[in-house]
Structures are given as C-alpha cells and as structure tokens.
Amino acid sequence: MTEVTIDKLAFKKSLSIIEQMKLKDFMFKWLGRPEEGIDNILPLEYTQTVFAKMETPSDTNFMTEGNETLRYVTITEDNQIVIGVLDANDELKFRILYLKDQ
C-alpha cells in the first residue's frame, strides 16, 4: 500500500451499482475470500457524504494490518481504489491499493 495526502486525490461524487459491487468484491478478495462472506465480516454501506464511498457502519471496528481501523473504500476519478483508515491516534489516513497489493 502507498500512503498519500488528501490533496493528491480526486474522489468520485457518486458510484454506480456496478462500482459499489466491484468495491465489495475487491475487499472480499483483499481479505482472502473469507468463507463467511464479506457482509458478515465487513458490512459496507454506500454513502455520499462529502464524496461517494462504501463505508463501514459506526459500530463496526474492522482492524487492518498495522492496527488501523478500516473506515471506507472508494474510487478516485482516475479509477484508483482508495482505502480510508484510522491510525492508532484516530488520524484519518488514505491508502491507494495497486494491483500488486492484492
């Protein structure tokens, strides 16, 4: 994963149903195709607050490697997949996932 600053990203204002499903599928594969399915392990809800994203509900604390809490996954205008995580200090960080990271 690559760490970037917010000023380098242009997020989409809305996501099509296909883009939403692709993001869920991407997360399912990124998590190693869990038998329980993505919705049981990591429920994602479509929101358009500030920008379009598939967001974890506020009562979900899904931890990633590095002790970070997953907040959302989205797509930029350049069709890059971006994950927003909270670090140990509750600071929001953005990570661009490249195909080699899958």
pLDDT tens readout for residues 41-90: 888 999 999 999 999 988 888 887 778 888 999 998 888 899 998 988 88
Per the structure, the complete domain to which residue 17 belongs is given by 2-101
Q: Specify the range with the lowest mean pLDDT, choosing from 11-15, 31-35, 82-86.
A: 31-35
Q: What residues does 70 pair with on adjacent strands?
A: 85
The model's confidence at residue 100, banded by pLDDT at 50, 70 and 90, is: very low
Between the two ends of the chain, the Cα-to-Cα distance in Å is 9
Q: Model pTM?
A: 0.80
pLDDT, one tens digit per residue, over 49-61 is: 999 999 998 888 8
Question: How many separate domains does the chain show?
Answer: 1
